[in-house]
Chain A
Amino acid sequence: MNVAITPAMVGQVVISGILAGALYSMVALGLALIFGVMRVINIAHGPLLMLGAYTTFFLHSLFGLNPYLSVPVTMAVLFVVGVVLQRTLVFRVVDAPELSSLLLTFGISIGLVNLAQLAFTSDLRAVEYLTGSFPLGPFAVSKPRLVAFVFAAGVTGLAFLFLRGTRLGKAIRATSQSREVAMVCGVDVQRVHMLTFGFASALAAAGGALIAVIVAIQPEMGQIWTFKSFLVIVLGGAGNYPGALLGGMLLGLVEQGAALFLTTQLSEVVAYVLLVVVLLVRPTGLLGGRQT
């Protein structure tokens, strides 16, 4: 309705957008890795994030573990889940047409959500640990989101160091450049696929652990993150890992900006229209990626 937009409001929204954007970047980096290395669009990415959130919730409520300290534990747990999923199901569709991988991961996604519903019920859960904000001039900076931002930036930074600096990281990057060349160079591609899926699941799980402190946890919380991650990797360029960082920030800002200047309803539309426009105008993403 008619609320005059002031610079302070724009500033507030930029803060919110950047804080949200870091989480988007981290979670979407996982999706980008899987797509880059295996050419699989993983629809189960969001549900894996949901499992991460539940893991943190139970570690907190049953064992009293600090939710932020639980991040590495949750990542480790979901790394294993990811590896198991890859070894049992996903590896079968790595070379299949995209329809197979889309459907298979959708099937996995339904499975995970409904198993969670049976196991944890659809009651909302929350990790009530850190709430509220601290003032920064005319702005309010959300405490849990700021901490999530710091963690997400840290995890993403480590992920990039890992990709650049370690043998395995280099193998992952090599495989996503060209599987054939990687194989010729002696990379065990099967193993790289498996570890990449585990690694990507761990990134989703880190997102789940961090937003467990921010939003309520329920079995269906993940789907929206699958969609957002799609947006991010398309904006940044599928298979382009630094692009995921840019895409995440951009999505955060665009969503928040649209909600401010237009309405909350239209913020979704703007994000998806942006997706389609970027696909059409620059199918390789804003930073340029690899076209199939």
Chain B
Amino acid sequence: MTIKTLGAVLVAAAVLAASLPAGAQGPIRVGASMSLTGTYAKLGNYQHEGYKLCAKQINDKGGLLGRKVEFVVYDDQSTPATAVRLYEKLITEDKVDALMGPYSSPVTEASANVTEKYKKVMVTPLAATTSIFKKGRKYIFMVISPAEVYLEGLVDMAAKRGLKTVAVVYEDTLFAKASAVGAVDLAKKRGMEVVFQEGYPKGNQDFSGMLTKIKAANPDVLAASTYFDDAIAITRQMKELNVNPKMYGVTVGGDLPEFYNLLKQNAEYITGATQWEAALPYPGNTEFAGAYKKEFGREPVYHSAAGYAGCTVWAEAVRRAGSLDSEKVRETLLKLDTKTAFGGFKVDADGFQTAHKMVTTQWQDGKKVIVWPDELATGKLRFPTPPWNQR
């Protein structure tokens, strides 16, 4: 019996301590579960910095609806189950005034079930998987372009140059796979033949078996739907096995400055897909990049810019709605058609992003050059890719 009582006391203590009273008319409290540690820690922290910069700028300009904006952030360790609990906590215990999305598609997929249950608007700046938004959810809003178009630039440029065959590889997770499937569809539509397609498990380090098969299939184009470490490993092992497609592009990772720092001249000619670049002529973009560097001492990446833009768009909707009421903010967001430092924002009736455009970059002499689409390009694609020992 004593054990039972002890258990009950512990539980009671936990529940009491967790339910601290929430302030009534202080700052606007915006809750978010963030991947501060775990697999997505690196990119999750970039997103978090985007949120922080956005809040700081709103507050410097006198706040939102006359109130300061303050983020309440918990660490979900990059796991969906923890994020679900944290959103429940933000909504029912902390009683935050608004929510912003977590990092990554899997975590968003699970968290959205909670926010929908409470009919809370959540702008999700870093969920790119179409299916999340196409299952009848009403209160989530997409900011970035969908996973399916990450490799559109690579495929389009290849098709224009008359390339015929493509190999597609991907990390077997929600987002990366969706982007690979998108690439296969796009390639088929452009009359290209997909000669090889294979997934690999998350955390895989050895790609030599897969690359041996790709070498034998001898595709004109290799499209890799990656996160970051896998993009590095695949590239290095391509060189080790002397796999030499005419074009080779990755998705996430290829745009990060670390990609070049780690691979040096071996990153030359490789294309990366990105949602955003500091060089893009969007309103307030230069100012954003400058302010970010000043605040955090490092260059922003697209994850930072997306987080920043998601928060900016949400604030704009609140301002126009004149209220934090979930229904009113939702109506406003559905009608909103704007351009931020991150590019266009307009969603369809499902909250699915339709205005934002992706760009494709290529490493040229250590610099990242935007090579696609033509209207935003800062340079021309270097093509074809020479053998490894001539890069």
Report whether chain A binds chain B.
Answer: yes
**Across-interface contacts of B205 in A (CB, < 8 A):** 215, 221, 224
Per-residue A-contact encoding for B236-253, CB less than 8 Å = 1, 0 else: 110111100000000000
Supposing A132-B239, A132-B240, A140-B242 touch, asked if A16 and B209 sit within 8 A by C-beta, the answer is: yes
Is B71 an interface residue when CB atoms closer than 8 A count as contact?
Answer: no
Is B63 an interface residue when CB atoms closer than 8 A count as contact?
Answer: no
Among A5-13, A72-80, A235-243, the stretch that binds chain B is A5-13
> By the criterion CB–CB under 8 Å, are B199 and A124 in contact?
no
Main secondary structure of the interface of B (DSSP, over half): helix
The smallest beta-carbon distance between A256 and chain B, in angstroms, is: 5
> By the criterion CB–CB under 8 Å, are B229 and A3 in contact?
no
Among B8-16, B131-139, B257-265, B285-293, the stretch that binds chain A is B257-265
How many A-B Cβ pairs are below 8 Å? Answer: 113
**Across-interface contacts of B201 in A (CB, < 8 A):** 264-265, 268
> By the criterion CB–CB under 8 Å, are A133 and B42 in contact?
no
Nearest-neighbor residue (CB-CB) of B210 within chain A: A264
Interface centre among B197, B209, B233 (most CB of A within 10 A): B209
**Across-interface contacts of B195 in A (CB, < 8 A):** 1, 3
> By the criterion CB–CB under 8 Å, are B263 and A128 in contact?
yes
The smallest beta-carbon distance between A155 and chain B, in angstroms, is: 21
Nearest-neighbor residue (CB-CB) of A6 within chain B: B216
Per-residue A-contact encoding for B143-173, CB less than 8 Å = 1, 0 else: 0000000000000000000000000000010
Is A216 an interface residue when CB atoms closer than 8 A count as contact?
Answer: yes
Per-residue B-contact encoding for A248-281, CB less than 8 Å = 1, 0 else: 0000000111111001110110000000000000
Interface centre among A125, A140, A144 (most CB of B within 10 A): A140
Compute how far the CA of A257 lies from the CA of B237 in the bound complex, rounded to whole angstroms.
17
> By the criterion CB–CB under 8 Å, are A131 and B258 in contact?
no
Supposing A9-B216, A268-B201 touch, asked if A133 and B206 sit within 8 A by C-beta, the answer is: no
Cβ < 8 Å to B, chain A residues 125-169: 125-126, 128, 131-133, 135, 140, 142-145
Compute how far the CA of A259 lies from the CA of B200 in the bound complex, rounded to whole angstroms.
10
**Across-interface contacts of B264 in A (CB, < 8 A):** 128
**Across-interface contacts of B389 in A (CB, < 8 A):** 132
**Across-interface contacts of A176 in B (CB, < 8 A):** none
> By the criterion CB–CB under 8 Å, are B197 and A1 in contact?
yes
> By the criterion CB–CB under 8 Å, are B210 and A126 in contact?
no
Give the number of chain B interface residues (Cβ < 8 Å): 41
> By the criterion CB–CB under 8 Å, are A131 and B241 in contact?
no
The smallest beta-carbon distance between B209 and chain A, in angstroms, is: 2
Cβ < 8 Å to B, chain A residues 214-230: 214-216, 218, 221, 224
Is B203 an interface residue when CB atoms closer than 8 A count as contact?
Answer: yes
Compute how far the CA of A228 lies from the CA of B99 in the bound complex, rounded to whole angstroms.
42
> By the criterion CB–CB under 8 Å, are B209 and A216 in contact?
no
Interface residues of chain B, those whose CB is within 8 Å of chain A, are 37, 41-42, 172, 195-201, 203-210, 212-213, 215-217, 228-229, 232-233, 236-237, 239-242, 258, 262-264, 266, 388-389
Q: Top 10 nearest A-B pairs by Cβ distance?
A: A259-B209, A142-B240, A264-B200, A140-B242, A126-B262, A16-B208, A260-B209, A3-B213, A216-B232, A3-B217
Interface residues of chain A, those whose CB is within 8 Å of chain B, are 1, 3-4, 6, 8-9, 12-13, 16, 20, 117, 122-126, 128, 131-133, 135, 140, 142-145, 214-216, 218, 221, 224, 255-260, 263-265, 267-268
Could you show 24 A-B contacts with beta carbons less than 8 Å apart? A1-B217, A3-B195, A3-B217, A9-B213, A12-B241, A16-B241, A117-B37, A124-B229, A124-B258, A125-B262, A131-B240, A131-B266, A132-B389, A142-B237, A142-B241, A144-B240, A216-B229, A216-B232, A216-B233, A259-B209, A263-B198, A263-B199, A263-B210, A264-B207
